[in-house]
């Protein structure tokens, strides 16, 4: 028995409307708290109100659409993007949640609320909005976070103005269910439609500042240089060697942000700032990877005569198993709607669900990413897979929601 039915055309139309906020070719640039992000949040809040949901912004910029004053199942994701983002990363989960909550409300169905978390993509921290709401990151600490573009979280969130209310209590919600694009190749290569997520990897990140000696690129003999970029290359090589015996094919580490100073072709770089981020499903292996990283940093410094300073940029995000009960509801829904075209799988990407798993039952569903591409403008998913995901998420919510 289904207590409500969704409208795929309306869902797809809303997805394409959201895509316009910060549109950049096929993708989006919609960093947390930028004008495009705020405009998108205001539009989503308006859709929530028109759906009969009570809208609420909290001090961190998280936007809720509440089904009523009583307990409800929470569905959602995030609408902020990476500096160069795809149109579906996060947005899919927010719009699918909106469509489902709207359909249930209209049908007098179960109480389903919506959340659009802020700064999942880490312009400031790590899953910042849900980290603050979950209590893992005090707001006063978050306010001190500074984006690589120089704006602090405190300055950015001031743009909420009068929108911001108080933090909502966690116990208003009976659980959290998030649909997201896989952002990897597994479902696409297998030709399957749905992933029922079993767990989310843990993540750690350091910001490394390497100080050498700025000098003339023509007159400074190679043997006398303290070249900060050489230290970065030695670090990267040492990581490859050091990780080889302790990692699995799913373990990852990335030097994703690098700034050379003064970044001029005729000057030996005297300073380099980079991030090292690593992820794994095992906390113990994250520890062992951190030992490799620490040793590699010391080796790079010794070999180049540079000084190395490390800041742990983000609070640690531990590996998270997802709720068994929610997983079985999602599996039942997937088998009903996409029989034989679904699998259980882990998440190599981080999600806001990581922050809620110790507060309430949490579950996730994936839909395929074409060619496994994400965090890039060309990120995309076949429309039929988007609609299948919506229907499986709706059915899962129908099975799980109280009342
Ligand atoms: O980095 C992540 O895993 C997420 O997409 N922000
Ligand atoms: Mn995301
Ligand atoms: Mn992302």
Report which ligand 1 atom has the smallest distance to the Cα of 349. Answer: 3
CA of 374 relative to ligand 3 center, distance in Å: 8
**Are 79 and 158 found together in one domain?**
yes
Residue 2, number of CB atoms within 10 A of its CB: 13
Report which ligand 1 atom has the smallest distance to the Cα of 127. Answer: 6
Q: Determine the structural domain holding residue 299 and report its residue range.
A: 202-312
CATH number (domain holding residue 388): 3.40.630.10
Report which ligand 1 atom has the smallest distance to the Cα of 183. Answer: 5
**Are 193 and 274 found together in one domain?**
no
CA of 160 relative to ligand 1 center, distance in Å: 24
CA of 119 relative to ligand 3 center, distance in Å: 10
Q: Which residue lies with its CA nearest to atom 6 of ligand 1?
A: 121
* Ligand 1, pocket-test mutation among 124, 351, 366, 374, most atoms within 8 A of CB: 351
Q: Which residues form the pocket of ligand 1, taking CB atoms under 6 Å from any ligand atom? A: 120-121, 349-350
292 in a structural domain = yes
CA of 269 relative to ligand 3 center, distance in Å: 31
* Ligand 1, pocket-test mutation among 28, 182, 183, most atoms within 8 A of CB: 183
Report which ligand 1 atom has the smallest distance to the Cα of 375. Answer: 5
294 in a structural domain = yes
Ligand nearest to the CA of 366: 2
CA of 350 relative to ligand 1 center, distance in Å: 5
Distance CA 269, CA 291 (A): 27
**Are 196 and 208 found together in one domain?**
no
pLDDT of residue 55: 98
**Are 163 and 184 found together in one domain?**
yes
CA of 376 relative to ligand 2 center, distance in Å: 12
Report which ligand 1 atom has the smallest distance to the Cα of 350. Answer: 3
State how beta strands 258-261 and 271-280 pair: antiparallel
What is the distance of C-alpha 24 from the center of its chain? 20
Q: Which has the closest alpha carbon to 266: 214, 307, 203, 343?
A: 214
pLDDT of residue 2: 78
**Are 72 and 59 found together in one domain?**
yes
pLDDT of residue 402: 81
Q: Which residue has the tokens 């205001």?
A: 42
* Under 8 Å between Cβ of 182 and 190: no
Ligand nearest to the CA of 179: 2
Report which ligand 1 atom has the smallest distance to the Cα of 203. Answer: 3
CATH number (domain holding residue 242): 3.30.70.360
**Are 193 and 236 found together in one domain?**
no
Q: Which residue lies with its CA nearest to atom 4 of ligand 1?
A: 350
216 in a structural domain = yes
**Are 195 and 209 found together in one domain?**
no
What are the C-alpha distances in Å from 15 to residues 94, 102, 289?
9, 15, 39
Ligand nearest to the CA of 121: 1
110 in a structural domain = yes
**Are 44 and 18 found together in one domain?**
yes
pTM of the model: 0.90
125 in a structural domain = yes
CA of 29 relative to ligand 2 center, distance in Å: 14
**Are 230 and 148 found together in one domain?**
no
Last residue of a domain, one of 312, 345, 375: 312
pLDDT of residue 1: 64
Report which ligand 1 atom has the smallest distance to the Cα of 351. Answer: 4
158 in a structural domain = yes
CA of 356 relative to ligand 2 center, distance in Å: 15
**Are 31 and 165 found together in one domain?**
yes
Number of domains in the chain: 2
Last residue of a domain, one of 312, 332, 356: 312
What is the distance of C-alpha 224 from the center of its chain? 43
Distance CA 236, CA 304 (A): 14
Tokens standing for residue 225: 């240089």
**Are 17 and 121 found together in one domain?**
yes
Per-residue pLDDT of the chain (403 residues; tens, 9 = 90+): 678 999 999 999 999 999 999 999 999 999 999 999 999 999 999 999 999 999 999 999 999 999 999 999 999 999 999 999 999 999 999 999 999 999 999 999 999 999 999 999 999 988 999 999 999 999 999 999 999 899 999 999 999 999 999 999 999 999 999 999 999 999 999 999 999 999 999 999 999 999 999 999 999 999 999 999 999 999 999 999 999 999 999 999 999 999 999 999 999 999 999 999 999 999 999 999 999 999 999 999 999 999 999 998 767 789 999 999 999 999 999 999 999 999 999 999 999 999 999 999 999 999 999 999 999 999 999 999 999 999 999 999 999 998 7
pLDDT of residue 165: 97
Distance CA 170, CA 9 (A): 32
Last residue of a domain, one of 295, 312, 329: 312
**Are 151 and 22 found together in one domain?**
yes
2 in a structural domain = no
3 in a structural domain = no
């Amino acid at each position: 028995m289904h207590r409500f039915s969704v409208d795929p055309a309306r869902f797809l139309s809303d997805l394409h409307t959201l895509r316009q906020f910060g549109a950049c070719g096929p993708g989006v640039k919609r960093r947390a708290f930028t004008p495009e992000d705020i405009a998108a949040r205001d539009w989503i809040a308006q859709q929530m109100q028109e759906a009969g949901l009570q809208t609420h912004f909290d001090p961190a910029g998280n936007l809720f659409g509440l089904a009523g004053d009583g307990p409800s199942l929470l569905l959602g994701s995030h609408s902020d993007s990476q500096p160069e983002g795809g149109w579906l990363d996060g947005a899919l989960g927010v719009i699918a949640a909106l469509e489902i909550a709207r359909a249930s409300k209209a049908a007098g169905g179960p109480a389903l609320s919506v959340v659009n978390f802020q700064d999942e993509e880490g312009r400031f921290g790590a899953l910042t909005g849900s980290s603050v709401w979950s209590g893992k990151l005090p707001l006063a600490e978050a306010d001190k976070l500074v984006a690589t573009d120089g704006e602090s979280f405190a300055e950015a969130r001031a743009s909420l103005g009068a929108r911001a209310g108080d933090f909502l209590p966690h116990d208003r919600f009976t659980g959290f269910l998030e649909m997201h694009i896989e952002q990897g190749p597994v479902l696409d290569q297998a030709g399957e439609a749905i992933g029922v997520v079993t767990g989310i990897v843990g993540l750690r990140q350091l910001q490394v500042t390497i100080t050498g000696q700025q000098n003339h690129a023509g007159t400074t003999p190679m043997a006398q240089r303290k070249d900060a970029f050489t230290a970065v290359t030695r670090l990267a090589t040492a990581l490859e060697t050091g990780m080889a015996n302790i990692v699995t094919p799913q373990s990852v580490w990335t030097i994703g942000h690098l700034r050379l100073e003064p970044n001029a072709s005729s000057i030996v770089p005297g300073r380099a700032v980079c991030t090292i981020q690593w992820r794994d499903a095992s906390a113990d292996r994250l520890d062992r990877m951190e030992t490799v990283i620490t040793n590699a940093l010391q080796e790079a410094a010794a070999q180049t005569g540079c000084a190395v300073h490390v800041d742990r940029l983000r609070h640690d995000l531990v590996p998270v198993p997802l709720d068994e009960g929610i997983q079985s509801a999602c599996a039942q829904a997937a088998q009903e709607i996409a029989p034989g075209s679904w699998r259980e799988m882990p998440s190599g990407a981080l999600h806001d669900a990581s922050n809620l798993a110790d507060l309430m039952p949490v579950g996730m569903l994936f839909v395929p990413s074409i060619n496994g591409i994400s965090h890039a403008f060309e990120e995309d998913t076949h429309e039929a897979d988007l609609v299948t995901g919506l229907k499986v998420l709706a059915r899962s919510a129908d099975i799980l929601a109280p009342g």
